[in-house]
Amino acid sequence: MTFRDAFKTATRSLTQGKMRSTLTVLGIVIGIASVITLMSLGASAQKYILDQVQSFGTDLISINPGAPTKGPPAAVQGIIIKTLNERDVHSLENEPSILNVAARVSGQAIISNGDTNRSVIWHAFSPVGFTMFNMSLSGGTVFTEAGGEAYRKVVILGSQVAEDLFGDVNPVGKNVRLKDLTFRVVGVFAPKGVGILSFDDYVVLPLSVGQKQMLGIDYYHEMNVQIDPRYDTEFVKSRISSVLRQNHHITDPDKDDFMITSMEEALSIVESITSALTLFLSAIAAISLVVGGIGIMNIMLVAVTERTREIGLRKAVGATDKDILKQFLIESVLLTLIGGIIGVAIGAGVVGLIYFVLSTFFSIGWVFAFPISSVILGLAVSGIAGIVFGIYPARQAARKNPIDALRYE
C-alpha cells in the first residue's frame, strides 16, 4: 500500500466521524496552544526585561557591599555592610578606564503634599547618575553640581508619585514633606509605564542629602561605574577590584568585601532566570499534552475495536500487518497534527490578544514575540505525540487474526 493510498484511507476514516475526530483532537489543541502561548509569553517577557535592563546602558558595572556569594546580596538579607565609602568613589574616579562613578543610597519613607500622602522608595545619587542611567524628565530640571542644588533638599518625583500627590497640578517649584523634611520639587520623571526599572513610583534626591540628612550614614549602598568603551569590561573589573582591595586593606582575594557585577552578567542572569521559568511553565503545560495524547490513544483503541471486521476484510483481500499499522498510525498522526496546527493558531491568537491588551490598556511596552522555533516545536511535538500514542492501538490492529476479525460481532 502506497503512502498516498494509506493517507487517503486514513483521511476518509477520520472524516466519517467528524464529531468524534473534533472532540479527540481537543486535548492536543489545548496542550499545544498552552505550550505555544507560554513559550511565546516567556520569550516576550525575556525580551521586555532585557530591553529595560539594556536601556540603563550596557557599559555599567555595579559594586555592592558584602562578600561575593552564590546567594542573594547581603543588603537583601538585611545585613548592613559599611565598606563602600567616599574614598572608594574618588579612587575609582581617578582610574583612566572609568568615565563616571555614581554612588547611591536608598530608603523608604512617607511623602506628603499637605494632607495627601503615600509611601515611597527614594534613591539618592550624584547628578552624574542621571546621564549614566539614561533618565529623562517630563518637566523641570535635574539637580546639578554647578547650581549647588546637589547639596540642597530638592527632589525629583516619579510621574505616578507626582500624580498621586498633585493630581493635574504641575508640582515643579512646590514643596513636599519626606520623613519630616521639606523638599522642593525641581523635576518630574517622564512616565515609563509598568516595568522593573521604571522610576514612576520612586523619588530621587541628592546623594549628600539622602546619606546625611535622611539616613545619617557615611557609607553607600551601591556604586555604579560607567566604563570607557575603549577598555575591556573584564579589565575594568580587575582594576576596580585592585583599587578597592587596596583601599580596604585586603590581601586575600577570597576575603573581598564587595561584589562586582557587570551589566552583561546581569543580563545573562536575567536571561537564564526567564529561560528557566519559561521552560518550567511550558513543562507544566506539556502535562495537558500528555492527557490529550492519552485521549487519542483511548479513541484509537475504541476505533480499532469498532473496525475489527474492516481490519479482517482488509487483511483477507491482501493487506499486510504493515499496511494496517501504517493506516492506523497515519490516522493518529493526522489527528494530532491537525490538533497541533489548530493549537499553534490559537496560541498565536492568544499571544496577539495579550500583546494588544497590555500595550493598549496598560501602556506596557510589551514585545510581540512568536518565535518560529515554538511553531516548529509545537508541530513536531504533536506529530511525535501521534506516533507515541498511536503506535499501541495501531499494533493491536495490525496483530488481529483475519478470521477472528471477520467473525467479530
Partner 1 sequence: MIDVRELKKDYVEEEEIPTRALRGVTFSINKGEFVSIMGPSGSGKSTLLHILSFLDRPTEGSYKFQGKSIDEMTDQELAHVRNKDMGFVFQSFNLLSRLTVYDNVEIPLLYSDISPLKRRECIENAVKSVGLPEKLYTEAGKLSGGQKQRIAIARALVIDPNVIFADEPTGNLDSESGLQVMKILESLHDKGRTIILVTHETQTAEFANRVIKIKDGMIESDKTINTNRYYNGNLK
Which residues are near partner 1 by CB under 8 A? 1, 4-5, 9, 12, 16, 309-310, 312-323, 402-403, 406
Nearest-angstrom CA–CA distance, 156 and 173: 11
Q: How far is CA 85 from CA 62, 89, 304, in A?
A: 14, 7, 78
Nearest-angstrom CA–CA distance, 55 and 83: 29
Q: Which CB sits closer to partner 1, 15 or 251?
A: 15
CB 83 within 8 A of CB 258: yes
Q: Which CB sits closer to partner 1, 248 or 395?
A: 395
Q: Which CB sits closer to partner 1, 4 or 249?
A: 4
Shortest Cβ 24–partner 1 spacing (Å): 18
Q: Going by C-beta distance under 8 Å and a sequence separation of 6 or more, which residues neighbour residue 116?
A: 164, 165
3-state per-residue secondary structure call for 121-165: EEEEECCHHHHHCCCCEEEECCCCCCCCHHHCCEEEECHHHHHHH
262 φ/ψ angles, rounded to the nearest 5 degrees: -80, 160
Q: Which CB sits closer to partner 1, 95 or 331?
A: 331
Shortest Cβ 329–partner 1 spacing (Å): 16
Shortest Cβ 397–partner 1 spacing (Å): 15
Shortest Cβ 15–partner 1 spacing (Å): 10
Q: Which CB sits closer to partner 1, 255 or 399?
A: 399
Q: Which CB sits closer to partner 1, 1 or 217?
A: 1
Shortest Cβ 7–partner 1 spacing (Å): 11
What DSSP state is assigned to residue 70?
S
Shortest Cβ 309–partner 1 spacing (Å): 6
Dig out the grid coordinates for 298 from the structure: 483511548
Q: Which CB sits closer to partner 1, 170 or 320?
A: 320
Shortest Cβ 313–partner 1 spacing (Å): 5
CB 236 within 8 A of CB 98: yes
Nearest-angstrom CA–CA distance, 199 and 177: 19
